[in-house]
Amino acid sequence: MTGQVLVLGGTGEARRLAAALVAEGVDVLSSLAGRVAGPVLPAGDVRIGGFGGADGLAAWLVEHRPRAVVDATHPFAARITGNAAGAAAVTGTSLLRLQRPGWTAQPGDDWRWVDSLAQAADAVAGFGTVFVTTGRQGVAAFAGVPGRCLVRSVDPPDHPLPAGTTLLLARGPFSVAGEVALMREHGVDVVVTKDSGGHLTEAKLTAARELGLPVVLVRRPSVPAGVATVGTVEEALSWVLAR
């Protein structure tokens, strides 16, 4: 077993954890899926590209024998999280899930929870202009939405956009004032997002509250049973250093 720690990354938390581990003298390898063009690279060594599912990751773990694996991927990266849990279990590798807390409703919020993107599309079908902020991979679920769509993502979506779509390519963080102005400019009637948590994109929720707009929120997938989970970089750092 080596002293290296494998961080499954792509999030701000993953980058902060990598930087903190490097500062502590820990050998870190961050793995990025490669789905975002021009990603912000973390400190330490970096690999880009998938492992080939749970079996591929398990084979990598057997070959390299890292000290531990920290799954710090996006809260909705359910496939990667499931693969990590399966690979860690069959190889006896220590695994931690670092997942930032979800958002909490505030007084005045009109949040409407759903369990999937398909349900979100059904929930907004009666609105005039829908602000879709679910990421480029989720846009296909809204293909049948009859109204206008303002779609925002970091990179262009892979799938055809819904009819009547205005595409906005942008990366957070976003300001409340900017979000209010954007929603007013496009006459947004409802906002759709996933419960990603964090501060980079939280401003849209505050803007929706100020404008009296409903928000359709997709619930997070659950973490596989038995996987240790923490919500902060500090907790993840302590967990790694304890090993």
- What is the residue-level pLDDT of the chain in tens, covering all 243 positions? 468 999 999 899 999 999 999 999 999 999 998 766 667 789 999 999 889 999 999 999 999 999 999 999 999 999 999 999 999 999 999 999 999 999 999 999 999 999 999 999 999 999 999 999 998 888 989 988 888 999 999 888 877 788 889 999 998 889 999 999 999 999 999 999 999 998 888 999 999 999 999 999 999 999 999 999 999 999 999 999 998
The answer to whether 239 and 94 have CB atoms below 8 angstroms apart is no
Per-residue confidence (pLDDT) for residue 3, from 0 to 100: 84
Measured between alpha carbons, how far is 84 from 89 in angstroms, rounded to an integer?
8
Here the tokens at position 230 are 């923490």
Per-residue confidence (pLDDT) for residue 35, from 0 to 100: 66
DSSP string, the chain: --S-EEEE--SHHHHHHHHHHHHTT--EEEEE-S-SSSPPPPSSEEEES--SHHHHHHHHHHHH--SEEEE---TT-HHHHHHHHHHHHHHT--EEEE--------TT--EEEESSHHHHHHHTTT-SEEEEES-GGGGGGGTT--SEEEEEESS--SSPPPTTEEEEE--S---HHHHHHHHHHTT--EEEEE---SSSSTHHHHHHHHHT--EEEEPPPPPPTT-EEESSHHHHHHHHHT-
pTM for the model: 0.87
Measured between alpha carbons, how far is 160 from 143 in angstroms, rounded to an integer?
8
Per-residue confidence (pLDDT) for residue 1, from 0 to 100: 47
Measured between alpha carbons, how far is 166 from 174 in angstroms, rounded to an integer?
18
Per-residue confidence (pLDDT) for residue 37, from 0 to 100: 63
The answer to whether 183 and 211 have CB atoms below 8 angstroms apart is yes
Per-residue confidence (pLDDT) for residue 36, from 0 to 100: 64
Q: Is 198 left (phi over 0), alpha (psi -120 to 50) or beta?
A: left
Measured between alpha carbons, how far is 53 from 29 in angstroms, rounded to an integer?
18
Measured between alpha carbons, how far is 222 from 49 in angstroms, rounded to an integer?
24
Here the tokens at position 106 are 């505030």
Domains of the chain: 5-101+221-241 (3.40.50.720), 111-218 (3.40.50.720)
